[in-house]
Structure 1
Amino acid sequence: MRSTATPTSPTSPTDNSDRTGHATLPPFLPAFQRLHQTMAPWVASDPDRVAVMDAHRALRYGELDAAVRKTAQTLTTLGVRGGDRVVLLTENSVGCAIILLALSAIDAWSVPVNARLSAREIANIVEHAGARVTLYLDNDFPEAREHGLARGAQWAEWPHVGRLLVSPVDDNAVAEPVEADAHDQVAALIYTTGTTGASKAVMLTHANLMFIGHSNRMQSRVQPGDRVYGVLPISHVYGLSVLLVGPLSNGATVYYEPRFRPDKLARTLIEEQLTVLHGVPAMYAKVIEWSRAQGQSLRTPSLRIAQSGGAPLTASLKAAFEDAFGILLNNGYGMTETSPTVCQTRVESPRSDCSVGPAVPHVEIQLGPLLPDGSGELLVRGPNVMKGYYRRPDLTAQAIDSDGWLHTGDLARIDPDGAVSIVGRSKEIIIHSGFNVYPEEVEQSLNAFPAVLQSAVVGRAVEGNEEVIAFVEVRGGMTLDEAALRTFLRDRLSAYKMPAEIRIVTQLPAAPSGKILKAKLREQLATGKA
């Protein structure tokens, strides 16, 4: 087990800790024991307010409560027990939200999986999770349906949920113990994309996820009556927390969209009078590019908060967003293992830089041993930290030390005011001629060039050294002049940080969340396919 071994940087001055790194506030205590219970206040006070909607239907809070109860009965009749793992292949939809809440109501573990994964990836998840049953939710896209039919699932029609495919019940599946305390009972297994290695199943408890809803409320990010755009995949922790738990525990309305399309976002902003927008940088880059090409404004008087997360935000994209939308773009940092929020810029304290802000209240952070440039591995402790990796106590022990600190693997700097800047992943540092090169720094410079939509930088091993290789996605309707780009970079980067090679790609490989999959780029380099 790793030890913090007296970190060389003190805990940042967050809202809940002193300069010694000891918590000064009591631990987060959820008001409820299960996720589905968090909407109860709104069921009682505002049963007629729309809770969830998609292109096909809308359910009010009172209707959603009834739908969850009925679906919980259906799952029980099917043979699902408390402690069972239920894999749900889906795109964002009202039916998906109902099933996830119904699984909470019967103490089963939800395993949301994006339907766009390969058959092999899905088979591995079903086997590793020891799933009692797998549900394939039919919708506007064929992937879940095709996977279900290929695996022998049978058609069913569930009230409120709609048409879906249901796998045979695995009678050999062993249920996990049901824990009364929300801090102990697992709500969801989230399989990571494996961008830095093999996929792992992160156990997030009900308390983990309810903490995110609490944090949203305390920072006035989601309020009763807000209308939230729900395009980030619920199968990813960012989508699960900000598009289900956060809005429903705070009396908001979520408009679910299964897949991102710039024109659809622009239209929905106006038609649904959206007030809260969550997205990843790649999504924002594409919608801004679309608006420029179409000559269509993205400004709307209803939108009050926009949030970026899931990947590094560049100064050029932040400026472009704020010019296009007319409001501040907030930034944050988190990971699957932290449910996901760790740091967040504050609405009341706007920032012009790309810092991810200070740690959210009740969460402690500190840096491990410092590198020569003043950065260190970011360590996190608090009610957001996962229970562990399912069936991998060895990996859990490597990630969480004996003092409860999660070792993120991300390198960061902490400003005197507590604001955190993420430098990069410790495993992704490129060591060129003895110098450390942080990919994010090179990517920010690349992305500032007018013809570059987005980029990804990885290292390539050569004899006795490591080279900087840049993959670049070019803006639509533009061409990339590499000589001009290199001249541009030389004004911004030291010579040792300059890419040895710049490769133009039609589209960078990305996870359903929009996160660029650098592991695939490194694999392409290693096999000579890039």
Structure 2
Amino acid sequence: MTDYAGFVTPDNRAWQATYRQHGLDIQLNMPKGINSLLDFFDENFRANRGQRAITFMGQHISYDELDKLSLKIAAYLQSLGLEQGDKVAVMMPNTPQYLTVMMGIVRAGFVLVNINPLYTASELEHQLADSDAKVLFIVENFAHTLEQVKNKAKLQHTIITGVGDMLGLKGLLINAVVRYVKKMVPNFCIPNKVNFKEILKSSHPYTKPVVNLDDVVILQYTGGTTGVAKGAMLTHGNLIANVYQCMTYVKTGFNNPYQHGEYMAVALPLYHIFSFMVAMLGMKMGFALLLIPNARDLDDLTKQFGKFRPQFFPAVNTLFNALTHHKGFVELDHSNLKVSLGGGMSVLPSTAANWEKITGNYIIEGYGLSETSPVLTFNPLGSYTGKIGIPFPSTDIILLDDEGNEVAEGEAGEICAKGPQVMKGYWKHDDETAKAMTADGYFRTGDIGVMDEQGYFKIVDRKKDMILVSGFNVYPNEVEAVIAACAGVLECGVVGVPDEHSGEAIKAFIVKQDAALTADAIKQWCKQNLTGYKRPKHIVFVEQLPKSNVGKILRKELRALA
């Protein structure tokens, strides 16, 4: 059984002095009496009683209402005759229903399976089959995808909801506009479906299940861009530990332990583990979660920022970058913004500089993966460093070479981590779990990093994305950071392509900010800022870069284009 009270890091790690410098506790102290997420939610509801919990499309839901409605969902699920530990899938964008259903699943004693609502039928079919999900909650906009799934595996119950189903009378209007004006709900036929609103009207007895920290609570699917997606088994203890690890750092940026009446803007999709965790953190701190259903609608996001003036904003580099080029956002008053949290991908120096210039707020970077709940490292609040920070409390990180030996300080190696936030393993994939772990229990992240003398880590790239040019290792992140700093560049992605002379050559895909930008200008800039073998041999201008739903640039698709 995992020691969630905290893995004790060796006393010779460079970052321990940095902890002392910032007055941080290097050892995680798990709270007493919190034996599962059920206890965690109960405590949050007590602490935030009477406060606003969710704001969505101008409507508000209190923590009291969220408590009551999530228990109603839990009781309904228990009435279906499922066994404790059964899987319940959720296929929703950022809506109040997602948070309500997520809490209901957990409080019923079942396992949440997060599903990307933009999945194709084949992707959905794989995840339903692999997870053994027996129940699916889905927003009606995506129900036509479910209809196309030929093998629904063990799925027994389907609950359909409209976007406005938790917004009262205003929700009726929103649903009508979504269905009949914007025509965002394709026709579908799902036999024996249940209407979400009927569940909210139902009345079933609820029994609090007996759950412990080592029980799996989420199957978080990962690896979909590199192979067949597999479910990382995250436990109650993994997630609780990571919330309190986050609290060690983030709480230093606020004067009070609870931020009642203040907003955290949740623009990244909640089915992604980064957004999920910061939402959990936000509820622990008593924030109202300002749910943004579509982060790509920069006009709406800007409108919400202007109206509610959030204190806390988690995002990825591409979203930060896009907002710094949005005229309406630039003109807003950002004086209430206290913490801008970057994750999911590296935040480029040019993006960080523009963000600080516009908002007066620096971006704090963290780092993690779905398999680590997700956060492993974080920067103490202070300034943008261009690094992913130091390991969380009770977290140890080592850098290994290809032979499994620790590398010297300043040398690049694969980041391998141990701590209470590391997953239990991959669901149904014991072989993959074994490959992912070292003999002494460290999780292999697949990312290449270096550590400086103060214990700060820097990602140089994904192991698989490294480009080999005439025997020299080239890390795309470094090249992308240089190109992104060139005047006239909006964003870029870099991959390696076969080359008969050098083995591989560097190809850069660039989105222009200035239409007058030329390939010669890019080459000249790179000549000034990169050594010869790191300069792109091929430059292609494109209208947009392929990205995941959380804004990560998909190098796999760039390689296919190349």
TM bin (shorter chain): 0.7 to 0.9
CA distance in 1, matches of 2:18, 2:69: 39
**8 A Cα contact 2:302 2:329, kept in partner:** no
CA distance in 2, matches of 1:129, 1:433: 44
AA aligned to 1:205 is T
**8 A Cα contact 2:88 2:110, kept in partner:** yes
Partner residue, 2:236: 206
Q: How many positions carry a matched residue from both structures?
A: 493
Partner residue, 1:185: 215
Cα shift readout 1:5-27 (whole Å, capped 9, x = no counterpart) = xxxxx744248999xxxx98477
Matched, 1:467 2:505: yes
Partner residue, 1:3: none
Partner residue, 1:74: 76
Matched, 1:253 2:295: no
Partner residue, 1:235: 271
Q: 1:320 to 1:160 in 2, by over 3 A?
A: closer
Matches within 5 A, 1:96-175: 96-138=98-140, 142=141, 144-151=142-149
Shift of 1:51: 1.1
Aligned-partner SS, 1:48: coil
Cα shift readout 1:360-404 (whole Å, capped 9, x = no counterpart) = 212111211338971111111101111111100111111122322
Aligned-partner SS, 2:133: coil
Matched, 1:51 2:53: yes
Q: 1:290 aligns with which of 296, 302, 326?
A: 326
**8 A Cα contact 1:53 1:93, kept in partner:** no
Shift of 1:342: 1.0
Partner residue, 1:172: none
Q: 1:329 aligns with which of 363, 366, 369?
A: 363
CA distance in 2, matches of 1:167, 1:417: 60
Name the % identity.
Answer: 26
Aligned-partner SS, 2:515: coil
Partner residue, 1:89: 91
Cα shift readout 1:312-360 (whole Å, capped 9, x = no counterpart) = 111111100000111121111111111111111111xx23430111112
Partner residue, 1:364: 396
- What TM-score, normalized by structure 2, do the two folds share? 0.81
Cα RMSD over matched residues?
2.8
Which runs of 5 or more structure 2 residues have no equivalent in the other structure? 1-11, 176-184, 194-208, 402-406
Q: 1:444 to 1:296 in 2, by over 3 A?
A: closer
Shift of 1:202: 1.0
AA aligned to 1:98 is T
Shift of 1:31: 4.6
Aligned-partner SS, 1:146: helix
Cα shift readout 1:86-122 (whole Å, capped 9, x = no counterpart) = 1111101111001011110112111111211211111
Aligned-partner SS, 1:491: helix
Cα shift readout 1:15-49 (whole Å, capped 9, x = no counterpart) = 8999xxxx984774675233243232342243210
Matches within 5 A, 1:298-309: 298-309=332-343
CA distance in 2, matches of 1:360, 1:514: 25
**8 A Cα contact 2:138 2:161, kept in partner:** no
**8 A Cα contact 2:26 2:393, kept in partner:** no
Matched, 1:442 2:479: yes
CA distance in 2, matches of 1:496, 1:272: 48
Shift of 1:156: 5.3
AA aligned to 1:363 is T
Matched, 1:318 2:356: no
Q: 1:352 to 1:106 in 2, by over 3 A?
A: closer
Task: Name which structure has the greater RCO, CA cutoff 8 Å, separation 6+.
Answer: 1
Shift of 1:180: 3.5
Q: 1:307 to 1:427 in 2, by over 3 A?
A: same
Aligned-partner SS, 1:436: strand
Partner residue, 2:453: 416
CA distance in 2, matches of 1:295, 1:17: 36
Shift of 1:469: 1.2
Aligned-partner SS, 1:132: strand
Cα shift readout 1:222-258 (whole Å, capped 9, x = no counterpart) = 7522410011111111011112x21122222111111
Q: 2:432 aligns with which of 395, 418, 433?
A: 395
Aligned-partner SS, 1:316: helix
**8 A Cα contact 1:90 1:137, kept in partner:** yes
Cα shift readout 1:264-283 (whole Å, capped 9, x = no counterpart) = 22222221121100100000
